[in-house]
Structure 1
Amino acid sequence: MVFSVGQSYNGFKLVQEKEIKEMNAMGRVFEHEKSGAQLLYIQNDDDNKVFSITFRTPPTDSTGLPHILEHAVLCGSKNFPAKDPFVELAKGSLNTFLNAMTFSDKTMYPIASRNDKDFLNLMHVYLDAVFYPNIYNEKKILMQEGWHYELENVEDEITYKGVVYNEMKGAFSSPEQVLFRKMQESLFPDTTYKYDSGGDPEVIPELTQEDFVNFHSKLYHPSNSYIYLYGDGDIMEHLKFINEAYLKDFDRIEVDSKIDLQPPYKEPKTSVVEYSISDNEDEKNKTFLSLNFVVGKSTNPELHLAFDILTYLLLETPAAPLKKALLEADLGKDVFGSYDHSIFQPVLSVVVKNANEEDQEKFEKLVFNTLKELTDKGIDKKLIEAAVNIYEFKLREGDYGRYPRGLIYCMKSMESWLYDADPMLHLAYEEVLAKIKTALTTDYFEKLIKEHLLNNQHRSVLMVKPKKGLAHEKEVEVKQKLQAYKKQLSKDEINQLVEKTATLKQYQEASNDPKDLEKIPLLSLADIEPKVDKVPLIEKTEEDIPVLLHSMFTNEIAYANLLFDTSAVPQQLIPYVSLLSSVLGKVSTEKYNYEDLSNEINIYTGGIDFNVEAYSLKNDDSQYFPKLIVRSSALVKQMPKLFEILGELIENTKFTEVKRLKEIIREVKSRLEMNILQDGHIVAARRVTSYFSPIGQYKELCIGIDFYKFITELEGNFDDKVQEIQSNLEKAAKIIFNRENLLVSLTIEEKDYKAFQESFVSLMKRIGDKKLEKQQYQFDYSPKNEGLLTSSKVQYVAKAYNFQKLGHQYTGHLQVLKTIISLNYLWNKVRVLGGAYGAMAGFSRNGNLYFTSYRDPNLDKTLKVYDEAYKYLSGFSSTEREMTKFVIGTISKMDAPMTPSMKGQEATAYYISQIAEEDLQRERDQVLSIKPEDIKELSNLIKGVMEQNHFCVLGNEGKIKEKQEIFNNLVDVFN
């Protein structure tokens, strides 16, 4: 269909049309004439369609109002009055993405699906949610999702409870989160950015129902909305639906949601905030120092992309000169940077972690001296070429992992559109990239550094320093505040509070009216493809090495993964396999020093990464295949250079650079600390699995708490252990990099296979060829049942066991059970009633099963919920419609869209685990044919697993010590 600018289409006037060659797409901007809504339609041949509606929502305080509202509007609406349509969609749609996101100044509601009918259904529910939510007639939504006073009995103490309240307690437990949340406050004291849109737990209880609904009525209007559509959908059908179902009922209004600019500082500011550490932790080397610069406006596309590249160049690559200078000065143990361009005035931050308070002046001086030296002497052109090349490769590849490509483009469009500029400003990058490439022959980046960093007074130094027992202090303050509040209440008011708590629980426990559930649109099983997708895999042999070829269109990119078996590594060296994966590519080789090596990788490839993995035999966790994986990508024409670099890394890496090794070990420790605090649910689930599972034990030694303790010991005694570290890395590398261990996984078009063959020969000449003996590892499987102590304000509660050890077998029914347990039982019991931010279950083919919670205020209550899951299942009943929903929701996870590289990795995992196509088809058939009685029969499996009583809790040291009688061991994580 031909469109004309100025013409109207189903109530939408076309105001701009532009081809976006970089995306092979046509972009069209519309304005809804009656309501004033703006709409961007990016049309191309991507079948993973994306819809999003975004509102400009600048906060006026730190009560977390935008964030709580983001949760709340998805708790029922006019046409879909069920209490939680979001969960119903998660259970029963073919979505490839379903979520909502609160940013500093906007709230986004994106969905994605490859099924046309499903896509319209999701759009319908989301539009109804944002325009007609139940928050006006149901105050309990704010109480549940935001905060409320909790008082079950008159004699009890009052507490605060609420999903977002606990989510943000968890967020504020991480010093990195505190740092990044306070950066904006230090730079924008006069604008909306000084407030935390997510919510500060100390301020959240100030939010009232009146402010809550007023915020929605003011800002959630089409005149303040930005609607986005992407993919190969029917543009006229979508415009017609949005107009007729929703927008035609609204008149255009003036909405005051403008984002003001912060006037530039006349002189820099300094701020200091504290974060909590445990009483047993040392305060030394625990301070964060950051230098933060306001860099122009996000509506400048050239500055936007140039500073993305400059941040990488200065602070992220191993050759990054600013990072190198800070590490060599020994100011801290980790250095990282960020460039936040999701706000009107972007911010570049330089961060040193594990420093000390007295280092602040030296830190500032060194940053500015290094930047000045770079401008005076000029930045190494090879470093510039490397940074520009890797960015260009990623832009052209368009591989964003599990995130739909269209969603990333939506976020990019908002970085200009929200501030009244062209929404396609950051989507077309060729012209801007051409300007930036002049840096290869000019002082382009040097000028940027001078103008926006060296001569920029609009900056801040933010120090985040540790304080022992701060979390406990805050808890006592809250407790005293609530005690004082209760004292001033009359008996009637206390009774009313008890009644309110009970009424909220009744509301939360009540089942949805079946008629309300039936209003949520649902596909039928006939809409689902009954056949499993064929996994692309052709077995070949080159140079006597097995090669798995995954032939598909890759846009002239080769994805070459080398999987080295590590089962010949002695047990005491297992953690060194993981350390080796962190060292490779970051230290020098015979041919390149580590900076030149980094540049070579970035100039000639799309990246080379190393990581450890262990694949279980499909039905036995005691038989597993540990691997060190070298993942790489490059343009097909660059394969000879790729394999030359891979050979150099494998054969000639030098482990003799003492200072560099120390820097890497410190960085590994730092990143593990971040991970433990941010992904505690995964950490706890992995830890408890290690109590009984051989593959679980192996993974724990490579990436879990055991590995963190190993790295902590190396870092703390580095000078005494350096020779041992070097020797063990050398030993591990010699054992691993051997022809006998190698399996190659290649994702490429078959026509390009010859180019691989020719390049691969050179690599094989550089790999050892010895006979190796596989090791038999002896692990301790005693039930440790640990409390892992941190200063976190919340818990992560995990319980697990292997159901095959109890005589049960894996079937596809367990994947449907996972959907039911996670999104029905645990959602209601742990999240809705318990106030945790989340809870989930996992079921593996090898028999390992876990339940785990995320940012959970509870501990023993959650364990009790896990233990009683079997009762829920033994009484399970379901209508045909509900079972259809669970099946569709399960299939949507099984059919998640994948990039070529992801398809190759999945096919390889199936090959190693000996999962055949018939296994996948059998699993799918079992999912599609499941009956309620099949779920009921699984209650004994869950009962048996929970009765084994293997559990682990990571979290608040005070809460865990209160219940220490249930634990076998208490472990100080960071001591």
Structure 2
Amino acid sequence: MLPRTLSNFMNAFTASDHTFYPFATTNAQDFQNLMSVYLDATLHPLLKKTDFTQEGWRIGPENPRIAEAEGDGNPEDSKLVFKGVVYNEMKGQMSDAGYLFYIRFQDHIFPSINNSGGDPQKITDLTYEQLKKFHAEHYHPSNAKLMTYGDMPLADHLREIDAQMSAFERIEADIEHKQPIDLSNGPRTVKVFGPVDPLADPDKQYKTSVSWIAGDTSDVVESFSVALLSSLLMDGYGSPLYKGLIESGIGTDFSPNAGYDGSAATGIFSVGLTGVSESNIETVKSEVQKILQDVHDKGFEQGKIDGYLHQLELSLKHKTANFGMSVLQRLKGKWFSGTDPFDSLAWNDTVAAFKAKLAQGGYLEGLLNKYFMNDNTLTFTMAPSENYGAELAKEEEERLALKIAQATEEAGGEGAARTFFEQRELELLEEQSKSNTQDLSCLPSVHVKDIPRKKEPVIVRDEVLNGTKVQWREAPTNGLTYFRAINTFENLPDELRALIPLFSDSIMRLGTKDMTMEQLEDLIKLKTGGVSISYMTTPSPTDFHHASEGLVLRGMALDRNVPEMFSLLRKLILETNFDSPEAALRIRQLLQSSADGIVNDIASSGHAYARRYAESGLTRDAYLTEQLDDQNRIS
């Protein structure tokens, strides 16, 4: 029998109203194998009760094996606690203050939509019978969307899909489109409490946002226009909202919900900040409204609009290994909300319609007036609470006691209930151990004969130009040129290495003596697909005790704009103005922004910190990487 416990071998992404199961491979046989397994597992899962208790939630002794072996030993080992993979994953996720802010905001603006991963305080209300019923009603082909991308024959995919789908009878599809709260009657204000960040400024612990309903997303042209409007208002250090809210010092960074969300049937536009003082809470909303009014009165510069349209052109030409996934990510939200996916894919038609409306004059200003120049808003604020963690632990303790009391009554006594919990825990451990000895021959396999014996070689050409080593890779790239230059360091002191991330961030923040960063950002968007400067380290291929490090410069541009890309990189590297009166203030803002929420990163990615620290004593490359944020590491 085919093993069908999804979490054992499948990758899934859960959104607020759908789950999708992506897979990819370059091997045709492997693709067929994966498709058969994924379709079988999603449409015909076993959904055993033991799967529910193991993956979902249950009550059990904290350490059943030790408790069983030691009898009346350490009482902590036999202490009953909530267990379950999803339950504990979501406890960790909800300990991230940024995620908590976003989820609680969603709870209030979209009360009809549930937490996609599950709220631990609600997970323990779910029963196995409810799970089975929900799966039968919703995880059905009548509710499914399927997308394939690649160069393999579509007819082969369709035959496999038809073979799996034909076993089902059509049911009435779930086409309810969840709607946000009604804000047409004026402003609403919501305040909730969250944890304190011990590393942040104790006087700037508030997070707050102001949100508007932004129209029907099935109007593809208008939704595209509002998304572009959001970018003009918020993206980049020179954007009006960044300058007016973050550069002015009201907050340290945009809130997790900031920007335009067009994934549901109704769009939401939010502007929010983290690192806000209590005295500035009301200032945020008034300042946002003031900035929007000022932008409306002045209008938008055509050059900035052209820069974003240029970025769109490049994104359509820029093909990566994740291109199919990015298309799916772009389609799925609106697809499930009723928008025809082919309308969403018709980018050229959408851009042409946008340009036609723009040519009539005042189009973007009109959208500002239509949706945002009013007080039909939701102001959502999360205040810090010193007691938040203790109150959360107390709530869980009381909920656990209630569940144990219910189980005790059903079992006919405390001893019977505890025996049941302990016996079930041991049975789950035994079942887990079976996975190491199960017969996996029923799973489809890829054999050596299915793998091509030859792979098309990657041809590179090495040259030396003006004393500099240059390597060329010529390939079809849709008219784009990709550039990477590495400047290696020799014997860099540790105290200077620690400053490299701040140094590279500053280069992309401070501007030069003859150009502001806003002007440089506009030029970067208009002439390139982006440029960057960051730290890199790479291990020696022959000696793990050695590694090279340096700065890596990256850029992408249409072939015709390559000279401008080189000029911009040169200007940023050689002409950044570190001595201007504003430089110290902006560097301080960079430090505050990078420090904001660092405790949340530890809570959600503590395993990554632990792994890097453990690896740092093994190789020189790992040691260098551990000293710096590994997002700066060259791939």
User: TM-score when scaled to structure 1?
Assistant: 0.59
Shift of 1:214: 0.4
Q: Which amino acid aligns with 2:592?
A: R
Q: Distance in 2 between matches of 1:241 and 1:83?
A: 18
**CA distance 1:606–1:106, change in 2 (3 Å):** same
Deviation per CA, 1:898-951: give whole Å up to 9, x if none: xxxx9xx87xxxxxxxxxxxxxxxxxxxxxxxxxxxxxxxxxxxxxxxxxxxxx
Q: Distance in 2 between matches of 1:328 and 1:579?
A: 17
Shift of 1:476: 3.5
Give the structure 2 partner of residue 333 of structure 1. Answer: 252
Q: Distance in 2 between matches of 1:672 and 1:485?
A: 35
Shift of 1:616: 1.3
Give the structure 1 partner of residue 217 of structure 2. Answer: 298
1:473 and 2:427 aligned: no
Q: Distance in 2 between matches of 1:660 and 1:378?
A: 27
Structure 1 unaligned residues grouped into runs of 5+: 1-78, 89-97, 708-901, 907-975
Structure with the bigger percentage of strand: 1
Return 593-602 or 224-233, whichever deviates more. 224-233
Give the structure 1 partner of residue 80 of structure 2. Answer: 158
Shift of 1:116: 1.8
- Among residues 289, 312, 320, which one is paired with 1:391 in the alignment? 312
Contact preservation (8 Å) 1:591, 1:648: no
Return 683-692 or 160-169, whichever deviates more. 683-692
Give the structure 2 partner of residue 453 of structure 1. Answer: 372
Give 3-state SS (helix, strand or coil) of 1:555's partner.
Answer: coil
Q: Distance in 2 between matches of 1:561 and 1:222?
A: 46
Give the structure 2 partner of residue 504 of structure 1. Answer: 428
Deviation per CA, 1:302-361: give whole Å up to 9, x if none: 122223322222112122111110023311112363322222222222221111233121
Shift of 1:83: 5.5
Deviation per CA, 1:337-390: give whole Å up to 9, x if none: 332222222222222111123312100000000000000111233222222322
1:545 and 2:468 aligned: yes
**CA distance 1:567–1:481, change in 2 (3 Å):** same
Shift of 1:568: 5.2
Give the structure 2 partner of residue 120 of structure 1. Answer: 32
Q: Which amino acid aligns with 2:593?
A: E
**CA distance 1:308–1:699, change in 2 (3 Å):** same
Contact preservation (8 Å) 1:296, 1:346: yes
Shift of 1:637: 0.6
**CA distance 1:376–1:625, change in 2 (3 Å):** same
Deviation per CA, 1:755-790: give whole Å up to 9, x if none: xxxxxxxxxxxxxxxxxxxxxxxxxxxxxxxxxxxx
1:698 and 2:621 aligned: no
**CA distance 1:420–1:571, change in 2 (3 Å):** closer
Give the structure 2 partner of residue 208 of structure 1. Answer: 127
Q: Which amino acid aligns with 2:101?
A: L
Contact preservation (8 Å) 1:104, 1:197: yes
Contact preservation (8 Å) 2:512, 2:572: yes
Q: Distance in 2 between matches of 1:234 and 1:692?
A: 46
Q: Distance in 2 between matches of 1:410 and 1:183?
A: 26
Q: Which amino acid aligns with 1:686?
A: R
Q: Distance in 2 between matches of 1:378 and 1:630?
A: 35
1:317 and 2:236 aligned: yes
Q: Distance in 2 between matches of 1:100 and 1:279?
A: 34
Q: Distance in 2 between matches of 1:606 and 1:261?
A: 36
Shift of 1:684: 2.0
Q: Distance in 2 between matches of 1:163 and 1:477?
A: 20
Contact preservation (8 Å) 1:606, 1:632: yes
Give the structure 2 partner of residue 28 of structure 1. Answer: none
- Among residues 96, 104, 121, which one is paired with 2:16 in the alignment? 104
- Among residues 46, 52, 72, which one is paired with 1:142 in the alignment? 52
Q: How does 1:221-240 map to 2 (within 5 A)?
A: 221-240=140-159
Q: Distance in 2 between matches of 1:672 and 1:613?
A: 22
Contact preservation (8 Å) 2:95, 2:600: no
Contact preservation (8 Å) 1:585, 1:597: no
Contact preservation (8 Å) 2:539, 2:620: no
- Among residues 166, 169, 190, which one is paired with 1:271 in the alignment? 190
Q: How does 1:511-590 map to 2 (within 5 A)?
A: 511=435, 514-515=438-439, 517-530=440-453, 534-567=457-490, 569-590=492-513
Give 3-state SS (helix, strand or coil) of 1:288's partner.
Answer: strand
Give 3-state SS (helix, strand or coil) of 1:196's partner.
Answer: coil
**CA distance 1:177–1:253, change in 2 (3 Å):** same
- Among residues 345, 353, 356, which one is paired with 2:266 in the alignment? 345
Deviation per CA, 1:835-892: give whole Å up to 9, x if none: xxxxxxxxxxxxxxxxxxxxxxxxxxxxxxxxxxxxxxxxxxxxxxxxxxxxxxxxxx
Q: Distance in 2 between matches of 1:483 and 1:647?
A: 65
Q: Distance in 1 between matches of 2:319 and 2:188?
A: 39
**CA distance 1:703–1:240, change in 2 (3 Å):** closer
Q: Which amino acid aligns with 2:590?
A: I
Q: Distance in 2 between matches of 1:180 and 1:85?
A: 27
Give the structure 2 partner of residue 689 of structure 1. Answer: 615
Q: Distance in 2 between matches of 1:145 and 1:501?
A: 13
Structure 2 unaligned residues grouped into runs of 5+: none
**CA distance 1:543–1:298, change in 2 (3 Å):** same
**CA distance 1:147–1:469, change in 2 (3 Å):** same
Q: Distance in 2 between matches of 1:626 and 1:398?
A: 28
Q: How does 1:473-492 map to 2 (within 5 A)?
A: 473-483=391-401, 485-486=403-404, 489=408, 490=413, 491-492=415-416
Q: Distance in 2 between matches of 1:106 and 1:469?
A: 35
CA-based RMSD of the aligned residues comes to 2.6
Contact preservation (8 Å) 1:287, 1:465: yes
Shift of 1:85: 6.5
**CA distance 1:561–1:129, change in 2 (3 Å):** same
Q: Which amino acid aligns with 2:388?
A: L
Q: Which amino acid aligns with 1:131?
A: L
Contact preservation (8 Å) 1:186, 1:270: no
Shift of 1:186: 2.1
Contact preservation (8 Å) 1:589, 1:652: yes
Give the structure 2 partner of residue 871 of structure 1. Answer: none
Give the structure 1 partner of residue 226 of structure 2. Answer: 307
Contact preservation (8 Å) 1:537, 1:551: yes
Contact preservation (8 Å) 1:332, 1:353: yes
Q: Distance in 1 between matches of 2:620 and 2:123?
A: 44
1:185 and 2:107 aligned: yes
Q: Distance in 2 between matches of 1:607 and 1:127?
A: 39
Query: Percentage identity across aligned positions?
Result: 26
Give the structure 2 partner of residue 413 of structure 1. Answer: 331
Q: Distance in 1 between matches of 2:228 and 2:595?
A: 26
Deviation per CA, 1:603-660: give whole Å up to 9, x if none: 0111011211111112433311111111101111111211111121122110122322
Contact preservation (8 Å) 2:5, 2:46: no
- Among residues 423, 426, 437, which one is paired with 2:341 in the alignment? 423
**CA distance 1:83–1:108, change in 2 (3 Å):** closer
Give 3-state SS (helix, strand or coil) of 1:424's partner.
Answer: helix
Give 3-state SS (helix, strand or coil) of 1:613's partner.
Answer: strand
Give 3-state SS (helix, strand or coil) of 2:149's partner.
Answer: strand
Contact preservation (8 Å) 1:385, 1:440: no
**CA distance 1:170–1:638, change in 2 (3 Å):** same
Contact preservation (8 Å) 1:339, 1:349: yes
- Among residues 127, 131, 155, which one is paired with 2:43 in the alignment? 131
**CA distance 1:540–1:418, change in 2 (3 Å):** same
Deviation per CA, 1:256-298: give whole Å up to 9, x if none: 4512434632122222222223678764212111122221122
Contact preservation (8 Å) 2:264, 2:334: no
Q: Which amino acid aligns with 1:410?
A: L
1:287 and 2:206 aligned: yes
Give the structure 1 partner of residue 574 of structure 2. Answer: 651
User: TM-score when scaled to structure 2?
Assistant: 0.90
**CA distance 1:384–1:480, change in 2 (3 Å):** same
- Among residues 70, 88, 96, which one is paired with 1:174 in the alignment? 96
Shift of 1:140: 0.7
Q: Which amino acid aligns with 1:100?
A: A
Give 3-state SS (helix, strand or coil) of 1:295's partner.
Answer: strand
**CA distance 1:284–1:536, change in 2 (3 Å):** farther
- Aligned pairs, how many? 610
Return 479-488 or 202-211, whichever deviates more. 479-488
